[in-house]
Amino acid sequence: DHPIDLCRYQVINGFAGRVPLINSGGESGGASDLAEAVKTAVINKRAGVMGLIVGRKSFQKSLKEGIAILNAVQDVYLDKTITIA
């Protein structure tokens, strides 16, 4: 029931990880979008997911807020200390 295990199941279904998985970041929920995007990116990266689509979370915001969300997700994927669980 852990979110990392649920993502791993999706990765395994992609021909045992040979097909990269990019998950959706979900709909824009308001003020918590930045925190939710970072949390989802960490879960996905730890599960072996290759990327996160954050279109609605970032592009339905002001330019400054949207860029902050995109940069935060990029920082998660660039951080070498966040590894597969």
Q: How many CB atoms lie within 10 A of CB 79?
A: 12
Q: Which of 18, 21, 15, 64 is nearest to 43 (CA)?
A: 21
pLDDT at 75 over 80: yes
Tokens of 85: 């669980």
What pLDDT digit, counting tens, does each position of 27-52 carry? 898 899 999 999 999 999 999 888 89
Confidence check: pLDDT of 14 > 90:
no
- Looking at residue 16, its pLDDT comes to 79
Q: How many helices (H) and strands (E) does the chain have?
A: 4, 2
Q: What pLDDT is attached to residue 74?
A: 96
Contact 36, 29 (CB under 8 A): yes
